[in-house]
Amino acid sequence: MTPTLSRLVDQFGSRRVLVLGDAMLDSYVVGTSTRLCQEAPVPVVAVSERLDCPGGAANTAVNLAALGCQVELMSVVGADQDGDRLCSLLRQLGVGTRLITVSESRRTLSKQRIVNGDRLLARIDQGDTEPIPRHVERRLLAQLNEAFVRADAVVISDYAYGVLTSGMIGRLRTLQQRFQHLIAVDARDLTRYRSVGVTVVKPNFDEALRLVGRQSETVPGARVALAPMLGEAVLDLTGSRIAALTLDADGAVVMERGQHPVRTYASPVDQSSTAGAGDTYLGALTLALASGATTSDAATIAACAAGVVVRQAGTTVCAAHELRQEIILSASSWATPESTRGQRTELALPGPAGSTKERHGRDNPTEVGERRAPALHQA
């Protein structure tokens, strides 16, 4: 299996991917806190550094670029410092930005995290989240026609922050009826894309539960047992051919119409402060499918890519050479097809021996973004 998976990764460089969605700037303000503020019982953080990273749909695009493909991002930012910073980072990281519209009437989405050592103290969200203005939508619609045709695959990252309007989704449906592209979707509301004819959707377990109107499951093992049945419901509700349910430490269960479910396993790690591992997973899954992989092989490749980033802090990516190394180390034992006959809600899904396979560390973890001078703070 390993040589086959590696050959699929080698094909990533010839693929062209269009990413469409809500781009934002992720910032990490990192420092130390040893006392409380006199004005209120909150920690005083002495800032030592700030790290800016592409977030949201921009992080999806950066993950795809790191895996070696040609990426164009279609989104909207404001005519402000955060928008300039985001576009600059994207260009540095190999993402095409000519389809990003700068709107004078919109503030760039940003999420600033205040971190004390390895503890997240607060997150400050800024930017506009209402639907984009009509004149901006018209510009995106005009660009989408040409960009869709050029792409080998389309990835939609919809945080419900206003870029994916009903008009945009309608145009995607029209284009897909004509060209039948590979379309992968990660969205707050996946049912909005039911009529589009998408190839793969990627909800996490809680998102899938909300989609079918169920409450969160807290019983140990319940997620793995319910995942196949839940995945079938997701396929029906979204009209997708493939549904990838990510289960955090329990790995993922990938469902395809008419096929047995495939479970992949996550290597155990300490509590992770990683952001955007789901973007890594979806990017790798999409590129593998666009390169001709079976669903099982694509699921294994995606799990390997996600395994690389969860061992890192912050918003990170998996580079193509790191993915190849991860495949060599562990992919041959990850994917296991299982049958869900009858009405069974529990599944005996065997994993690797003990399910505690150790992974080699990385000497040079990949960081996305650049460090800034420390932000001003008041003692």
pLDDT digits (tens, 9 = 90+) for 11-43: 999 999 999 999 999 999 999 998 999 999 999
In 3D space, the residue among 294, 216, 271 whose CA is nearest the CA of residue 4 turns out to be: 294
- pLDDT at 377 exceeding the cut of 80: no
Does 81 fall in a domain? Answer: yes
- pLDDT at 3 exceeding the cut of 90: no
Tell me, what's the pLDDT at 269? Answer: 60
As for how many domains the chain has, the answer is 1
Tell me, what's the pLDDT at 341? Answer: 31
The answer for residues whose C-beta is within 8 angstroms of residue 173's C-beta and 6 or more apart is: 195, 196, 197
Q: What is the overall mean pLDDT for the chain?
A: 85
How far is it, in rounded angstroms, from Cα 139 to Cα 100? 10
Tell me, what's the pLDDT at 245? Answer: 95
Helix then strand then coil, % of the chain, to nearest 5 = 40, 25, 35
Q: Is residue 69 within 8 Å of 17, Cβ to Cβ?
A: yes
Does 278 fall in a domain? Answer: yes
**CA triple 344-187-85, angle to 5 deg:** 145
Q: Mind giving me the DSSP string for 336-365?
A: EE----TT--------SGGG-------SS-
How far is it, in rounded angstroms, from Cα 298 to Cα 12? 12
pTM: 0.84
Catalytic residue numbers read: 279
How far is it, in rounded angstroms, from Cα 191 to Cα 237? 6
In 3D space, the residue among 146, 5, 128 whose CA is nearest the CA of residue 76 turns out to be: 128
Does 252 fall in a domain? Answer: yes
Tokens of residue 274, six digits: 């990683």
Q: Is residue 106 within 8 Å of 131, Cβ to Cβ?
A: no
Does 16 fall in a domain? Answer: yes
Tell me, what's the pLDDT at 287? Answer: 98
Q: Which amino acid is at 175?
A: L
How far is it, in rounded angstroms, from Cα 282 to Cα 252? 12
Give residue-wise pLDDT tens across range 173-222: 999 999 999 999 999 999 999 999 999 999 999 999 999 988 776 665 67
CATH number at residue 253: 3.40.1190.20
- Coil, helix or strand at residue 128: coil
Tell me, what's the pLDDT at 225? Answer: 86
Does 140 fall in a domain? Answer: yes
Does 191 fall in a domain? Answer: yes
- pLDDT at 44 exceeding the cut of 90: yes
Dihedral sign of CA atoms 95, 96, 99, 105 in order: positive
- Coil, helix or strand at residue 238: helix
Does 349 fall in a domain? Answer: no
Tell me, what's the pLDDT at 310? Answer: 84
Domain span at residue 217 reads 2-25+57-108+127-340
Instruction: Return the axis-axis angle of helices 2-10 and 295-309, rounded to nearest 10°.
Output: 80
Give residue-wise pLDDT tens across range 243-273: 999 998 888 999 999 899 999 987 666 545 5
Sorting pLDDT into bands at 50, 70 and 90, what band is 347?
very low
Give residue-wise pLDDT tens across range 45-102: 999 999 999 999 999 999 999 999 999 999 999 999 999 999 999 999 999 999 999 9
How far is it, in rounded angstroms, from Cα 15 to Cα 69? 5
- Which burial class, exposed, middle or buried, applies to 352 when counting CB atoms under 10 A from its CB (0-12, 13-18, 19+)? middle
Does 209 fall in a domain? Answer: yes
**Backbone phi, then psi, for 255, in 5-degree steps?**
-110, 140
